[in-house]
Amino acid sequence: MDFPTSADSYLNDEITIFPNPVKDKIFVNTEVDQILIFNVFGQIVEKFDYYNLSFINISNLNAGMYFIKLKKGNEIYLKKLIVK
């Protein structure tokens, strides 16, 4: 998994995902270029190119903890997601 090299990318709360915890679909509060969802082993389980404020169906994911990497321009945001 590629992690951001800047602490600003980790600390910036400009992008939020909700609801969290989630059961079947999530929303992101802004447009992003790419969304990658990783399991706890660092494997990509879902990939979405260009998200434009509609929901993302994640109902196929098993319950557990995941990480979401969101790319917006040159910025990268890493969020934790709990699927119930």
Confidence of residue 54 (pLDDT cuts 50, 70, 90): confident
Name 81's bridge partners.
66
All structural domains of the chain with their residue ranges: 10-83
Above 90 in pLDDT, residue 2? no
Q: Which residues contact 52 (CB under 8 A, 6 or more apart)?
A: 31
pTM above threshold 0.85: no
Residue 83, phi then psi, degrees to nearest 5: -105, 125
Averaged over 18-35, what is the pLDDT?
A: 93
Q: For residues 71 and 63, what is the distance between their CA atoms, to the nearest angstrom?
A: 24
CATH code given to domain 10-83: 2.60.40.3080
